[in-house]
Amino acid sequence: MINFLTYKSIRNRKFTSFLCVLSIALSVTLFLGIERIRNGARDGFTNTISKTDLIVGAKGGSLQLLLYTVFHIGGAVNNIKMTTYEDIKQNPQVEWTIPISLGDAYRGFRVVATDENFYAHYRFRGDQQVKMQEGAVPVDTFDVVLGSEVAKKYKHKVGDPIVLSHGLSAESILSHDNTPFKIVGILSPTQTPIDTGVYITLQGMEAMHFGWETGVPSGEAINPERFKKENIQITQLTSFMVKLKSRIAVLRMRRNIDQYEAEPIMAIIPALSLQEMWETIGYVEQILFLVSLCVLLVGVMSILISLYTSINERRREMAILRSLGASSKHVFFLLIYESSFLVFMGCALGVASMYGLLYLVRPWLEANFSVYLPIETLSKTEWIYLGIIFVVGTLAGLIPAIKAYLNSLQDGLTIKL
Amino acid sequence: MPTAINLEKCKFSYSKNSKLVINIDQLQIDSGEKVFLYGPSGHGKSTLLNLTAGVLKADSGMVQVLGQDLTKMSQSKRDHLRGEKIGYIFQIFNLIPYLTVKENIVLPCMINKKRSDHDFHQQAEELIDSLGLREHINKPVTDLSIGQQQRVAAARALIGNPQMIIADEPTSALDEKNTREFMELLMRVWQQKKFTLIFVSHDERLKSYFERSISLPEINHHD
């Protein structure tokens, strides 16, 4: 009976009911949408690098080490010796290492010198691997592989020659034009800082600085024999990533590295540092959360307003229902039912439009903000949020319901015109 | 003959210290009787109807309706009794505006499952035919004239064959022709079904339709 009357009564007030549902739906969409983007941004950020247990570099700021190794931002003050790297690499607890050597740029994009371990072991966003879109990994001294964004921006193709510049600024005066590189591959897009890197071999990094021992090119011709890979001696690195065989060993290994005697080096746990860093810049997400909460509140208020204003014009209706044997409780539940129905429809419509919107903005967010948003079913937290919204929205009907209940007690079978 | 309504020493006031609105020593209406209750405004007419329909509860005395003492029953029991056994007609605006004619008529049976012991849809159809509402059956009630609306209200009060019908000034909004038609229809149905009919009005001309007439100002010794 109550279902039937609720349905009919809502249909009778189609337009206001629709507006009510719409405002709930909009706020649900906004709330869940912002939640998704918030989580997507955080996950995208904290999963920029995964599986790596430690990042090792010269002693200095731990944030700095994280920024230049993973995000290609800023630079290292000191390098570390190759012997140190070899020593730690030999440690029986180490599963793999990825050496990184930085310092040069290509038109503002960082040049990252590394070895084949990077392509084999580097992981991001869980278990995602660096893949080649076309071409192959760099093998020879002057081979280079471009991150997808670099290739896209300058419309480079495999086989193109490029000249790297010395130092990190985009308008470098000094360039390595006597040692041109050849593009051998382009990486698939990852929506991580990998896309903005230019990858060469460690030998390539060393070779392009031959004759630069004083800091500027000497201008002397270099014996081509020296450029042969096997003849190049690597002496230093900027940092390196370490994966241990057992996670339990991470903290001890970190302590050992921090106390390494031969050279002042340090280690950070990337997952931890990323989390810390997100927390310092994450206040924006708190604000977003609060704003969406307020929007939700306005949506719920609309139910209250719409039902409350309808109460007086429905006084007659309530007296009629009472005369037909309905109790005051019936009258009360009739309004509670209406509010719960409205908020339920609002939630359903809101979730649907959230998915619709997500589908539309996803490519754009991924391309511009590295926010990776998989279209997944509602998470447990989201169900809980929806549950809370439903309860609060239903409770918004409480005030009109109490009012109607009191009216019906007072009016009895007397019809107020 | 069993009594439909039996009030004894019934007193009622809306709050403890306010004046008595109802103070009736004795009022007895037999089952199957049709009674005209003359009730000009200001003599506790609405309050008396709310008491007999079980919406309000007397402060003292006895209010026996269809064999049950309402003063000894809970609010929900009284609501059930009303829904199950009493038909109620208001003076105007009897109908739920967003329901159709038929939906309005079957509403008492939907609210109270015991109202009808057999298929109430079929019963509604019969009532619709006998009250000449066939062509309006699925119309929204707001499309009907006042006269037609009161016939729908009568049909709704009659569905499920209630033992008692209380009509609270059902003709006050009707013109003379419609009033006559409505009264004739009500008398015809009463003749067939012999329910207890309590017809409240301030219009004494309608007295002639009834066997017995009670004047509220005479029996209610309110303050």
Residue-wise DSSP of B176-207: HHHHHHHHHHHHHHHHHH--EEEEEES-GGGG
Contact A323 B110 (CB under 8 A): no
Contact B93 A325 (CB under 8 A): no
Rounded distance between C-alpha atoms, residue A105 and residue A3, angstroms: 69
Total residue count of chain A as it appears in this document: 417
| DSSP type of residue B119 | -
The three-class DSSP label of residue B25 is: strand
B14: left (phi over 0), alpha (psi -120 to 50) or beta: alpha
Rounded distance between C-alpha atoms, residue B188 and residue A390, angstroms: 52
Q: Which of B159, B177, B157 is nearest to B168 (CA)?
A: B157
Contact B53 A413 (CB under 8 A): yes
Contact B79 A321 (CB under 8 A): no
Contact A412 B96 (CB under 8 A): no
Q: Map chain A to HEC letters.
A: CHHHHHHHHHHHCHHHHHHHHHHHHHHHHHHHHHHHHHHHHHHHHHCCCECCCEEEEECCCHHHHHHHHHHCCCCCCCCEEHHHHHHHHHCCCEEEEEEEECCCEECCEEEEEECHHHHHHCEECCCEECCEEEECCCCCCCEEEECHHHHHHCCCCCCCEECCECCCCCCCCCECCCCCEEEEEEECCCCCHHHHEEEEEHHHHHHCCCCCCCCCCCCCCCCHHHHCHHHCCCCEECEEEEEECCHHHHHHHHHHHHCCCCCCEEEECHHHHHHHHHHHHCHHHHHHHHHHHHHHHHHHHHHHHHHHHHHHHCHHHHHHHHHCCCCHHHHHHHHHHHHHHHHHHHHHHHHHHHHHHHHHHHHHHHHHHCCCCCCCCCCHHHHHHHHHHHHHHHHHCHHHHHHHHHHHHHHCCCCCC
Nearest beta carbon to residue A415 from set B56, B93, B107: B93
Q: What is the ipTM of this complex?
A: 0.85
pLDDT of residue B35: 92
Contact A325 B99 (CB under 8 A): no
pLDDT of residue A416: 62
Write out the E strands in B15-174.
Answer: 22-30, 34-38, 60-65, 68-69, 86-89, 164-168
User: B199 vs chain A: nearest CA distance in angstroms?
Assistant: 15
- The answer to whether A325 contacts chain B (CB < 8 Å) is yes
Higher-pLDDT residue of A374 and B183 is: B183
Q: Could you identify the residue written with the tokens 């000034």? A: B169
- The answer to whether A316 contacts chain B (CB < 8 Å) is yes
pLDDT of residue B143: 87
pTM confidence score: 0.72
Q: Which of A232, A103, A128, A116 is nearest to A184 (CA)?
A: A116
Q: Which residues of B touch A414 (CB under 8 A)?
A: 46, 50
B interface mutation test: which of A324, A334, A410 has the most B CBs within 10 A? A324
pLDDT of residue A417: 56
pLDDT tens digits along B46-94: 888 889 988 888 888 888 888 888 888 888 888 888 888 888 888 777 7
Rounded distance between C-alpha atoms, residue A173 and residue B220, angstroms: 111
User: A15 vs chain B: nearest CA distance in angstroms?
Assistant: 14
- The answer to whether A12 contacts chain B (CB < 8 Å) is yes
- The answer to whether B73 contacts chain A (CB < 8 Å) is no
Q: Which residues of A touch B54 (CB under 8 A)?
A: none
The Cα angle at residue B190 between residues B55 and B186, in degrees rounded to 5: 80
pLDDT of residue A82: 93
Contact A320 B168 (CB under 8 A): no
User: A282 vs chain B: nearest CA distance in angstroms?
Assistant: 52
pLDDT of residue A44: 79
Q: Which residues of A touch B84 (CB under 8 A)?
A: 325
Q: In this model, does residue B1 exceed pLDDT 70?
A: no
Largest interatomic CA distance in chain A: 110
Higher-pLDDT residue of B183 and A284 is: B183
- The answer to whether B90 contacts chain A (CB < 8 Å) is yes
Rounded distance between C-alpha atoms, residue A115 and residue A139, angstroms: 9
Q: Which residues of A touch B56 (CB under 8 A)?
A: 412
Higher-pLDDT residue of A221 and B12 is: B12
Contact A413 B112 (CB under 8 A): no
Rounded distance between C-alpha atoms, residue A371 and residue A213, angstroms: 42
A215: left (phi over 0), alpha (psi -120 to 50) or beta: left
pLDDT of residue B18: 82
Where chain A has pLDDT below 70, the residues are 1, 169-173, 218-220, 370, 415-417
pLDDT of residue A376: 83
Bridge-based pairing of strands A143-146 and A197-201 is: antiparallel
Nearest beta carbon to residue A412 from set B55, B76, B111: B55
A interface mutation test: which of B22, B103, B104, B107 has the most A CBs within 10 A? B107
Q: Identify the bridge partners of residue B86 per DSSP, sorted by sequence position.
A: B164
pLDDT of residue A258: 93
Q: Could you identify the residue written with the tokens 């009005």? A: B201
Q: Which residues of A touch B112 (CB under 8 A)?
A: 324-325
Give B15's pLDDT tier (boundaries 50, 70, 90): confident
